Amino acid sequence: MYDVLIIGAGINGGLLAQRLSKYNLRIALLEKDNDVANEATAANSAIIHSGHDPKTGTLKAKLNVRGNALWDDLCKELKVDFIRNGAFVVAVNDEEKLKLNELYHQAQERGVPSRLLNREEAILLEPNLSDLVIEVLDLPSTGIISPWEVTIAAVEDAMNNGLELFLDHKVTNIDRKEGYFDVTTPKGVFQAKVIINSAGLYSDDIYAMVSKQNSYKITPRRGEYYVLDRAIKPVVSRTIYPLPSEKGKGVLVVPTIHDNILIGPNSDIITNKEGKDNTSAALQYVKEQVAKTVKNIPMHTVIRTYVGLRPSHLEYDFVIEEAKDVKNFINLIGIDSPGIASAPAITEYVLDILSNMVPLNEKTEPRISRRPWLILNRMTVEEKQAMFEKDSKFGQMICRCEHVSEGEIVDVIHRNAGAKTVKAVKRRVRAGAGRCQGGFCEPRVIAILARELNIKPTEVLLDSDESTILVGETKENLA
C-alpha cells in the first residue's frame, strides 16, 4: 500500500515526487511513457516567466510569482542549470504602448522587478529589435531552464531516496475503495491512500475514472517552434515577447540554456491529444509574426522544428484541489503556461493540501544527494585527462556537434531514471541535439544502448514503444 501515488511524470509530477521523498512516506510515480518528462514538459518554451502577465486574482498569478522566486535554490539542489537572462515585452504602436504601461503597473503591484525603456535604451541592450518597436517592458527576473533536465534530475533524486518509478504504466482504471484506491495498469494493480492526478493532457480522463461529476475538459493547444543552431553571437540575449493576447504570450524569440534560439509558438486549439505534427501554415505564421518584434533572425540556421501541446481547458486558471466529490484525490488540471515557471510553487500548494491527508514527517536519515551529470565539454583539460585515465570511454567522442563522449552516455544509461532510448540519451547529454541532429552519432548511440541494456540493436527505440529504428542486421558492428 502506497501512501501517495502520483500519476504523470512531467515536471509537476517529478518535483512532487522529489519533495515527497523527503518524508516518511511510501511513494509511487506512474508514467504511461517509457521515460519521464516525455510530453508537454519536453516541448515548450522553457521559460521561467516573471509573473507579470497572468490575470490578477488567479492561482496562475499567485503561483507564477512565487514559483519564479524558488527556482534558484531548487536548481542548486538538483544540480541543474538555471539562468536569469531577462526578458523584453515590446510595443510596436501607440495602442500597444498603452497596454504595455498597464502591464508595467501590474508587474509593479506584484513586486515583479520591471522598468519601462524607450526605443533608444532598449536597442542598446538588444540591437536586433524590430524597427517597429517603440517601447519595451524590461523584466530582469525572467529565466530559462531545461524542463526535461529538471524533471529527470528530480525523479533521479527522488529514486535515490526511496521513490518507486513505474514507466510504461498507463492507468486504465481507478476503483474507489474504503480508505484507499486500486489503480490498474496493463502491468498490475497499485493500492494507494492518496492519488495526485498530474497527468497533463490526460488529467481530465484520469479524473473521469473516479468521478461522474467531472466537468473539466482538456483542450490541447498546439504550439509549433523553430530551433536555430548555436551562434557565436545569438540574435538576442533575452527572451523577446510581443504583447500578450487571449491566445497566450504570442510568438517569442527565446535563448535556450544550451545556447540555441527558439522561435515560436503559435497557438491552435485542436482535439487530438496526439496531434504532434508540424504544419507548414503554422510555421509560416510563426515566421511572419516574429518579424514584428525581432529582425536579422538567421532562418538559414534552423536545425529542426517541433510541436508542443499545452493542456489547456475552458477555464483560464489552474485547477489544483482535492476533488470535491472524491476524498484524498488531488487534481492538477489545466496546468498550461505558466506551468513550468509555477512548478515549484505548485509543489508547495499541493503539499499544503496533502498535509491534511497524510502525516508529513521528515526523514531523519541522511539524504542521498544527486550526483550531477558528467559534462566533459565543461571540464578543464586536466579534468578531462583524469576522466579518460579512469575510463577510456571518456576519450571516445560520439557526438561531434555537442562534444559528447561514450563515457557520458554510458553514465546516464545506468543512473536511476536512466536513458533507455535514443531520445532519452539526447535529453540527458544532448547527443544528437546539434547541427546534424544525430546524422553522425545516432548509429553509435544505438550500438551503445544495445550493448549497455543487453538487447539487440533492432530492439533499441528512438522514443516511444512504437518507434523502432532498425529492422535487421547491418554489415558493420559499430559497437
State the catalytic residues: 49
Q: What cell numbers appear for 369 in the block? A: 544527494
Tell me the C-alpha distance between 241 and 138, whole Å: 10
Residues paired with residue 27 on neighbouring β-strands, in sequence order: 4
- The CB-based long-range contact list for 460-465 (8 Å cut-off, 24+ gap) reads 460/421, 460/422, 461/34, 461/420, 461/421, 461/422, 462/421, 462/422, 462/423, 463/34, 463/35, 463/38, 463/421, 463/422, 463/423, 463/424, 464/33, 464/34, 465/34, 465/168
Tell me the C-alpha distance between 422 and 431, whole Å: 9
Q: What cell numbers appear for 343 in the block? A: 512548478
Tell me the C-alpha distance between 259 and 378, whole Å: 14
Residue closest to 100 by CA, chosen among 85, 73, 119, 84: 119
Q: Which residue has the cell 544540480?
A: 79
Gyration radius of the chain's alpha carbons: 23
Answer whether the bond into residue 255 is a cis peptide, omega within 30°. no
Answer whether the bond into residue 242 is a cis peptide, omega within 30°. no
DSSP one-letter code for 438 = T
